[in-house]
Structure 1
Amino acid sequence: MFHRIAATLVSGLALAAPVAAQDVTVSHGYSTFGELKYGPDEPFSYVNVDAPKGGEISLHALGNYDSFNPYTRNGNVATGTGVLWENLFVSAADDPYAVYCYLCETIEYPEDLSYIAVNLRGGIRFTDGTPMTAEDLKFTVDLFLEQGLPEFRNVFERYYESVEVTGDNQVTFTFTEEAPLRDRPGLVGFWNPFSKAWFEENDARIDRTTLDVFLGTGPYVVGDYDVGRSVTYTRTPDWWGADLPLNRGRHNFDSIRYEYFGDSSAALQAFFAGEYTVRVETSSKEWATAYDVPPVERGDVVREVLPDGNITTAQGFVFNLKRDKWQDARVRDAVAMMFNFEWSNETLFYGLYSRPVSFWGGSDLAAEGVPGAGELEVLEPLVEQGLLDASILTDEARMPAVGDPARNQPDRRTRRAALRMMNEAGWETGADGMLRNADGETLEVVIIQFSPTFDRVVNPYVENLRSIGIDARLERIDRAQYIERRRSGDWDMTNHSPGQEFEPGAGLKQWFHSDTAEDSSRNLMALADPGIDALVDEVIAAQDLETLTQRTRALDRALRAYGFWVPQWGNSEHWVAYWDQYRHPAETPPLAVGVIDWWWYDAEAADALKASGAL
């Protein structure tokens, strides 16, 4: 609940209740389904509450940065800024349906959730030592509703009737009837308060790039940085939350450093040279072939495979649906069929990946086979209204074409099927072997990428497309151009990962709804379909877990049938390599790896590495 709204924020005080008197619940958290796992101020069970504080952890990033503001699509934000600010609520990595008070001590709400009053903790301070107040929280909400991303405002501003300071340490969020019931706690908990005084003194805005760091309450502040090369976050002196039970075993490093590199190959070699000390590997090729090096053989570098219990990231190519060429589903389907995952996995990925087939892969929210009774209940009315094709009632959930692992080029049957669909859509093969429409134009497909790592995957795909007469090419550009062209819509296909949560809600509108199709970093493909819109609304309105499950399966089925997504590859594990000076609990929670959150520095092991000359 909390995660999905945040991708992409004293009992007894008077309440500004907008409805007739109801029984009011006072609690340290909220769980949509079931009971809260943790009591008030109880440390999370998966951390080491006795973990020592100290040392540095260092990681890498690719490209460059020119801003510390992650709340605008302009510029390129530095990696790791999340440690600078804190939210009202916090989520546990082993409790997917719950949120817990963090900057607040308790929340108060009636049964109908028409409002939620937040009772802030006493003693919260910004990193400059000034107190955080209820006025700062209200200021922050108003700031985002005025200057936040259009895709955010278009969805969320309609949900708040008012946000008012109702006591010395209390802010009351009153919701409109349009605000989805399940989302209301999340609509409160994701806010991370900024200092009103700091913003006014510095004439700051959240809708433009800046290297001025917005004053927050977080455990770290920006330390040394060299724009585009490195950035270090250092522990906040006299941090207000250091002794909070919820923080026991967390935020253990004195500093967190990110080193920037122009490409992944240089970054890997720098890791083995000790220029940074922890690497979360994302390349199957590197994981399979590149770690046969002396630091690993000596045991100075540890390699671990840790479980990942999250919903599978739906990584894939997406089509730019703003372009006329992609309006015909047959054309999209033909292009999608030419990507041979099985060959890529066998030849390029060393058999380490699986192919995502659902937007909720690895969970019971994923559609499978033909729709059951629960899905039909929501799908049939939309078919009757002409919003969905009748085939969705009887067809099995769409699965990607299966290729030959022994050769890249799809077999004749797949090629013939793709060409038949192109011909039916009005594209005919010319004398030069290229497909052309009635105006004599070729089907140009420009796939934009910024990382050379993708060349070995995209180029074989381009070859397959060209083999049936599609005028495809890879256009690799620098990161700044990549960001700008995606923002401006100057592309045909690009990478995207529409990652979802166990409790989908209002955040779905930012991913798949017509409301955000015009300008969105999430609805990047510009999906605008009334049938999909209706299903998104049905999922948002679901009030119990069974209804939510059935409606999400129906939405998943419809999204896959639409065909705006060519699934690439995925991984259900975390591949982590680190110099042997870090430790983590033996049992890791399912929903996060926690490298910078609850790992810790082993000073004795670090001294041994230095004494041996390894570091």
Structure 2
Amino acid sequence: MSWLLYRLAILLMASTCCVLPVRSAFAAHALAMNGEPKYSADFTHFAYANPQAPKGGHVRRAAIGTFDTFNPYVPKGMAPQGIGLIYDTLCVQSMDEPFTAYGLLAQDITVPPDRSWVRFTLRENARFHDGHPVHAEDVAFTFELLMAKGSPTYANYYGDVSEVEVLGPRQIRFTFEHANNRELPLILGQLPVLPKHFWKGKDFTSAGLTRPLGSGPYTIETFKPGHFVRYKRVASYWGADLAVNTGRYNFDSLQYDYFRDTTVALEAFKAGEYDFRQENTAKHWATAYTGPAVDQGHIVKERIPHDRPQGMQAFIYNTRRPLFSDPEVRRALAYAFDFEWTNSQLFYGQYTRTKSYFSNSELAAQGPPAPEELALLEPHRSHLPEEALTSAYTVPSTETTPLRQNLRQGLRLLRRAGWTMQDGQLVHKQTGKSFQFTILLRSPSFERVVLPFKRNLAKLGITMEIRRVDASQYVNRLRSFDFDMLIATLPQSNSPGNEQRYFWTSEAASTPGTYNYMGVDNPAIDALVEQVVTAPDRESLITRCRALDRALLWGHYVIPQWHLGALRVARWDIFGRPEKMPRYGLDFFTWWVDPDKAAAVRAFQGR
């Protein structure tokens, strides 16, 4: 899970101007979702990359669990971290614009004013690692292969493509069933291009460890299943001098070592077993980074703010289960989660309560619905709770209200939904069944969050069991929706679009492998998703996302948890990096190894 959701869009272009004319289609080097690209056709590098960055060095990172396939595109198996480095896509998205993509394999892109089709022209010098040219036939082959045998993601993303035409060795056109889908040309730019001559005659669905052929900046050097995978920079990489790659992909080699869990991985980092770590546990960040390496400055901790939407991290109900089919029941359980206590006692006050599916962004619903939002919601009133059209969404809080009072409110809602207390157990009046369910966990670090929630639920007469499974089993159960409740993050980009169908629609609810973990199945939300997909400009996209946000929030599909509008990075002090950081995240591949710093650190480590 990967980068699949994080790269929800990207695109291209290549010629002169960067603005599509009003009356005709025209080839360009870049395409913005709305407005104009930041970088002109003659740009030399992204502003957050250093064109003078030196090449060299070996970098080690960590991964959790295991891997058993090098094919990240099929709905089975576990692909290794970093596997996307061996592939090029048609385009690449900049990280300092809301949603603009620039040509990578694609030299240019052509779209008409209504964006009813898109035509890509490939670069003449684009090559796979075996020297074979990248042709339009490879693009068509990849598209058809992923649609037929790939993850359901692709059928969802590209389902509106009605025709694929190879117009020549370097030119391909995609025609869409519906016009005015502004994002779809950009999403097609995300397409990784696989070599037809390599895959022809092979079983694409086999989750094996045959080394694949790509065209990207790295290739697999060596690996040991379940232990590590090492990538090496391709010295003859065809795209090394492109503006989109200048100052990037500076490490000679990059290795991901696998660890059983995050606690073991943390200790390995402090012991010098790998070099760079993004910390996701507040307690570790506050207390675990101690010792001579930290005291002497060889390990550096840094909090890097960003403006990237944080999506929704939450306790997620599986509404396919009869127990959680009633929104009143789902709403009631939220009163048993005490975020304020959790944040102060477990997280050292580091987090902000999440109150939106688009947290940390302008896309989040704010206050009561504005008139423009009401205009979108009103036609679907019969399928939405009244509050979605009248009220600001709030989450239960103990900041001013005691937990005891919140639990009483939760119990009132449960009684209204047909549950009653008998001998300390919550029992359904009609069926006589007690209220019991299991929460599925992958990481032991979440147990300290879940246990206080479990105790609070017990005060309502509810029994919650905790089940922790390994990474492989966890992924398989997510794909098949085999759980009652889990903790997960539903990520968002700064320009939501077609991928929203993969999250919230009725079709996704019945499609294994999608991110509609909750089982959202509501015609109003289906319609609002389509409004987001077809938003004609940035202003309308913001309004439509806010309306969708309200409908989801008032459906009580989750119990929102928390977010942090910054990255917590710990690193051994071997790196150099550009002075300017991208606005919407961290492009680690603009960093480089500083030989002098690395020598000092390795001497300290005794290596």
Provide TM-score, normalisation by structure 2: 0.94
Shift of 1:405: 9.7
Shift of 1:37: 0.8
For residue 415 of structure 1, give the secondary structure of its aligned residue in structure 2.
Answer: helix
Does the 8 A contact of 1:57 with 1:277 survive in 2? Answer: yes
Matches within 5 A, 1:313-462: 313-383=311-381, 386-396=382-392, 398-403=393-398, 411-462=403-454
Match of residue 16 from structure 1: none
Matches within 5 A, 1:75-474: 75-153=77-155, 155-177=156-178, 180-201=180-201, 203-205=202-204, 207-383=205-381, 386-396=382-392, 398-403=393-398, 411-474=403-466
Mapped partners of 2:498, 2:389: distance in 1 = 26
Match of residue 590 from structure 1: 583
* Closer, same or farther: CA 610–405 of 1 in aligned 2, 3 Å: farther
For residue 531 of structure 1, give the secondary structure of its aligned residue in structure 2.
Answer: helix
Unaligned runs of 5+ in 2: 15-21
* Closer, same or farther: CA 432–357 of 1 in aligned 2, 3 Å: closer
**Aligned counterpart in structure 2 of residue 64 of structure 1, from 42, 63, 66:** 66
Mapped partners of 2:429, 2:503: distance in 1 = 32
Letter paired with 1:381: P
Mapped partners of 2:464, 2:4: distance in 1 = 37
Match of residue 18 from structure 1: none
Does the 8 A contact of 2:69 with 2:77 survive in 1? Answer: yes
Mapped partners of 2:599, 2:99: distance in 1 = 42
Mapped partners of 1:262, 1:433: distance in 2 = 37
* Closer, same or farther: CA 40–4 of 1 in aligned 2, 3 Å: farther
* Closer, same or farther: CA 257–382 of 1 in aligned 2, 3 Å: same
Match of residue 477 from structure 1: 469
Count how many residue pairs are aligned between Structure 1 and Structure 2: 596
For residue 268 of structure 1, give the secondary structure of its aligned residue in structure 2.
Answer: helix
Does the 8 A contact of 1:117 with 1:173 survive in 2? Answer: yes
Does the 8 A contact of 2:425 with 2:462 survive in 1? Answer: no
Q: Calculate the aligned-residue CA RMSD, in Å.
A: 2.3
**Aligned counterpart in structure 2 of residue 533 of structure 1, from 513, 521, 526:** 526
Shift of 1:487: 2.5
Shift of 1:110: 2.2
Runs of 4+ in 1 over 6 A off after TM superposition: 2-5, 8-12
Mapped partners of 1:5, 1:134: distance in 2 = 26
Mapped partners of 1:170, 1:468: distance in 2 = 63
Provide TM-score, normalisation by structure 1: 0.93
Q: Which string of whole-angstrom CA distances, capped at 9 and with x for unpartnered residues, describes residues 579-604 of structure 1?
A: 11111112211112112x11100012
Mapped partners of 1:6, 1:268: distance in 2 = 27
Unaligned runs of 5+ in 1: 13-20
Mapped partners of 1:4, 1:59: distance in 2 = 21
Mapped partners of 1:35, 1:22: distance in 2 = 16
Match of residue 40 from structure 2: 39
Mapped partners of 2:470, 2:209: distance in 1 = 21
* Closer, same or farther: CA 399–344 of 1 in aligned 2, 3 Å: same
Mapped partners of 1:261, 1:4: distance in 2 = 24
Shift of 1:180: 4.8
Does the 8 A contact of 1:180 with 1:506 survive in 2? Answer: no
Shift of 1:612: 4.2
Letter paired with 1:308: H
Does the 8 A contact of 2:233 with 2:253 survive in 1? Answer: yes
* Closer, same or farther: CA 389–28 of 1 in aligned 2, 3 Å: same
Letter paired with 1:400: V
Mapped partners of 1:488, 1:212: distance in 2 = 26
Mapped partners of 1:61, 1:197: distance in 2 = 32
For residue 581 of structure 2, give the secondary structure of its aligned residue in structure 1.
Answer: coil
Shift of 1:415: 1.1
Q: Which string of whole-angstrom CA distances, capped at 9 and with x for unpartnered residues, describes residues 547-572 of structure 1?
A: 22111111101110000011122111
* Closer, same or farther: CA 364–611 of 1 in aligned 2, 3 Å: closer
Shift of 1:123: 1.2
Shift of 1:435: 3.4
For residue 363 of structure 2, give the secondary structure of its aligned residue in structure 1.
Answer: coil
Mapped partners of 2:442, 2:282: distance in 1 = 19
Identity of aligned residues (%): 36
Does the 8 A contact of 2:51 with 2:247 survive in 1? Answer: yes
Letter paired with 1:195: P
Letter paired with 1:352: Q
Mapped partners of 1:420, 1:404: distance in 2 = 21
Answer with 553-562 or 229-238: which moved more: 229-238
Q: Which string of whole-angstrom CA distances, capped at 9 and with x for unpartnered residues, describes residues 404-443 of structure 1?
A: 599xxx6221111111111111111112434344222111
**Aligned counterpart in structure 2 of residue 497 of structure 1, from 474, 489, 495:** 489
Shift of 1:44: 0.2
Match of residue 19 from structure 2: none
Does the 8 A contact of 2:13 with 2:30 survive in 1? Answer: no
Match of residue 18 from structure 2: none
* Closer, same or farther: CA 135–256 of 1 in aligned 2, 3 Å: same
Q: Which string of whole-angstrom CA distances, capped at 9 and with x for unpartnered residues, describes residues 120-158 of structure 1?
A: 1011111122221111111111111111223531x3454
Does the 8 A contact of 1:159 with 1:176 survive in 2? Answer: yes
Mapped partners of 2:350, 2:283: distance in 1 = 9
Letter paired with 1:145: M
Letter paired with 1:553: R
Answer with 558-567 or 430-439: which moved more: 430-439
* Closer, same or farther: CA 232–526 of 1 in aligned 2, 3 Å: same
